[in-house]
Structure 1
Amino acid sequence: MTVPTTSVPHVLAALAGLPFAKGHGTGNDFVLVADPDGALHLGEAEAAALCDRHQGLGADGLIRAIRSRRLPEGEALLAEEPGAEWFMDYRNADGSLSEMCGNGVRVFVAFLLDAGLVELAPGEVLPIGTRAGVKRVERREDGFAVDMGPWTFIHPEHAAAEASDATVTAAGLDVARPGLSVSMGNPHTVVALAESSELAGLGLHTAPLVDPVPPHGTNVEFVVPSDPLVSAGVGSITMRVHERGVGETQSCGTGACAAAVAIRYWAGAGAPDRWAVGVPGGTVGVSFVPGPDGREHVELSGPAVIVAHGTLG
């Protein structure tokens, strides 16, 4: 939803006194609020107002830290993983609910540590409830690594036959380009570009048009493979992303995973399992690892920083 500009001050006034933090993962930024027992009403209008970059605090999304047992979707996950005490209740900048955010879940764990809500030593793993299932986050000396779970093609029959399943039109591209739709618990459509100049010339202030669009919309990643693609066993790509419900962001964790999935698939046999993904806000790591369920999982690693604390006036 879009909150009218004239309404933002009124929505924020109703939240006066609300403590918050601001954090980011490679430039993908979030407002974070601790609400352990679910006492706050933070719906679409409140999230959109808080994330408004002109009259609110400004962010790509709002993350509420709530105990899993306080939400129906979180309580259901406790049967799978009793240790998933905390649920990442995430809304995009327009207030819409989102299944997951790979950068957001790292920042979420950094926030839990910063707020004293959990303890986690380097090398230890914390299970986190999300609308895309339980995600396990490992603390590392230089940030966090997240088991993002298995990846899938949204339209596997098209991907297997044609290596693409959609066409994507975007400002700055002369013709529509083929794309491949990948699910990381949330939907993505990945487009490969040949030149860095094409990537730089994209106009992502407007949403790309994807045909056919997945049922719940899609994030769109535009990717340029490095030359050479692989160095010292690590693949390297650069991307920009337009996130549904947000617009262009400095980084997208699930998008980086989807981009690595698509480029690795297109590269064929012999493509590496480790990737460095450059985004406007920095670099994240993507690795393909055996999962405990026997399927191939994707691991996302990178920094997470809490940069400010405040109280809404």
Structure 2
Amino acid sequence: MTESELSLTGLRFSKGHGTGNDFVLLADPEGLRELVPEQIARLCDRHRGVGGDGLIRAVRSRHLPEGVALLEDHPEAEWFMDYHNADGSRSEMCGNGVRVFAHFLLTQGLVELGLGEELTIGTRAGVKVVARTSAGYRVDMGPWGFIHPELAAGRGMDSLVEASGLPVERPALSITMGNPHTVVALADLEELAMMSLATAPAVTPVPPHGTNVEFAVPAEPLVMDDVGHISMRVHERGVGETLSCGTGACAAAAATRFWAGTEAPDDWAVAVPGGVVGVRFFPGPDGREHVELSGPAVIVAEGVIADALE
């Protein structure tokens, strides 16, 4: 592809974040501007571009094959969150990104959403229902599950993780939230702070499509006022360490709750470097246990790409 074909000059964008997990956002209702990985990587570059952990394109579902498939069962899912990691690779979805995406649609005048009202959004991990709250947005993230249920059921662990700053491999549990996660429990906040996530942790066995890796520290005491508390850092596949990861917070809470046993609470507060998000487990309409993620969403800037990005 030539430089002229990669030109981004004149492209309008917004910049938003959810607890520090930041995104470049583009409105492309009719699906006329699908970007290639090289363009996405340029936009997300923190030194030469706008900067972001990923890029989200707002497209009406009827203009994408994945969206058309969802509309058969969910005709209300008008908008599709076309999400890519910072390196340009596609990802199934992003929990913080869903909140920011809903806020972007609202601020762009593409939807109307009053307090308490819900919006159904299409993603590559199925539809997600987002509700506007006084503190931001809450999202039904759908059901969670074990990536290796045959291993997790007996031992509570299914893999080993090697990471810089940890002297030995640590046991871990792999959770699916529609995208893959591998959760490691650490002893204390000092151990969490000493880790380096500049390079990707090594996971054995690695899930088929790679994995995000979360390192979680349970609070002492774990439960206060019927709410479980953990602190977490994350290395996201295709991105690196991020200040927050919504699906990762859900996965870390799910793993910690599983390890804690049947008396563990359904409500959790997950502290990430970018803030705190809420996670709640509840019976879903499909008979499976669902996870709800709640937290803020902010649009910080709008602009137009100039020649300097080329």
TM-score range normalised by the length of the shorter chain: over 0.9
1:72 aligns with 2:51: no
Structure 1, unpaired ranges of 5+ = 1-6
Out of 247, 272, 278, the position equivalent to 2:271 is 278
Tell me if 1:219 matches 2:216.
no
Which residue is 1:91 aligned to? 84
8 Å CA contact 1:11, 1:46 repeated in 2: no
Identity in percent: 69
- Uncovered stretches (5+) of structure 2, i.e. residues with no partner: none
Q: Distance in 2 between matches of 1:34 and 1:75?
A: 18
- Find the aligned partners of 2:147 and 2:51 in 1 and give their Cα distance: 32
Q: Does the 8 A contact of 1:110 with 1:305 survive in 2?
A: yes
**Contact residue 212 and residue 237 of structure 2 kept, 8 A:** yes
Q: CA deviation at 1:45?
A: 1.1
Cα deviation, 1:216-268, whole Å, max 9, x if unaligned, reads: 00000000000000000000000000000000000000000000000000000
SS at match of 1:90: strand
Q: Which one of the candidate residues 71, 79, 82 is aligned to 2:75?
A: 82
1: CA distance, partners of 2:183 / 2:281: 18
Deviations 1:143-193 (A, max 9, x none): 000000000100001000111000000000010000000000000000000
Which residue in the other structure is 1:4 paired with? Answer: none
SS at match of 1:164: coil
Moved over 6 A (4+): none
1:11 and 1:150 map into 2 onto residues whose CA distance is 44
Secondary structure at the aligned position of 2:282 is classed as strand
Letter in 1 for 2:128: K
Q: CA deviation at 1:41?
A: 2.9
Deviation at 1:80, TM superposition (A): 1.3
Q: Name the structure 1 match of 2:21.
A: 28
Alignment of 1:207 with 2:200, yes or no, is yes
CA distance in 2, matches of 1:201, 1:79: 49
Supply the distance in 1 between the matched residues of 2:6 and 2:32 (Cα, whole angstroms). 18
Whole-Å separation in 2 of the counterparts to 1:273 and 1:11: 53
**Distance in 2 between the 1:101 and 1:48 partners?**
17
SS of the residue 1:95 aligns to? coil
SS in 1 for 2:131: strand
TM superposition shift of 1:27: 0.0
* Secondary structure in 2 matching 1:63: strand
> Is the contact made by 1:12 and 1:56 (CA closer than 8 Å) also made in structure 2?
no
Count of matched residue pairs: 305
Other-structure match for 1:50: 43
Specify the alignment match of 2:135 in structure 1: 142
Question: Residues 16 and 298 of structure 2 are in contact (CA less than 8 Å); yes or no, is this contact kept in structure 1?
Answer: yes
| Residue of structure 2 in register with 1:120 after alignment | 113
In structure 2, distance between residues paired with 1:41 and 1:100: 17
Judged with a 3 Å threshold, the aligned counterparts in structure 2 of structure 1 residues 172 and 12 are, in CA distance, closer, same or farther, namely farther
* 1:213, distance to aligned residue in structure 2 (A): 0.2
Q: d(CA) in 2 for partners of 1:90 and 1:251? A: 16
Q: Is the contact made by 1:199 and 1:224 (CA closer than 8 Å) also made in structure 2?
A: yes
Checking the alignment, whether the CA contact within 8 Å between 1:26 and 1:304 is kept in structure 2 is: yes
| Correspondence for 1:236 | 229
Q: Contact 1:154–1:181 at 8 Å: present in 2 too?
A: yes
| SS of residue matched to 1:30 | strand
Task: Indicate the SS of the match to 2:222.
Answer: strand
Q: What residue in structure 1 maps to residue 104 of structure 2?
A: 111
Letter in 2 for 1:25: G
Q: Confirm or deny: 8 A CA contact 2:6 2:39 kept in the other structure.
A: no
Root-mean-square deviation over aligned CA pairs? 1.1
Q: Counterpart amino acid of 2:63? A: R
Is residue 2:151 matched to residue 1:158?
yes
AA in 2 matched with 1:197: E
Distance 1:297 1:212 in 2: 26
Output the CA distance in 2 between the equivalents of 1:269 and 1:16: 55
How much does 1:13 deviate?
6.8
Matching residue's letter, 2:270: V
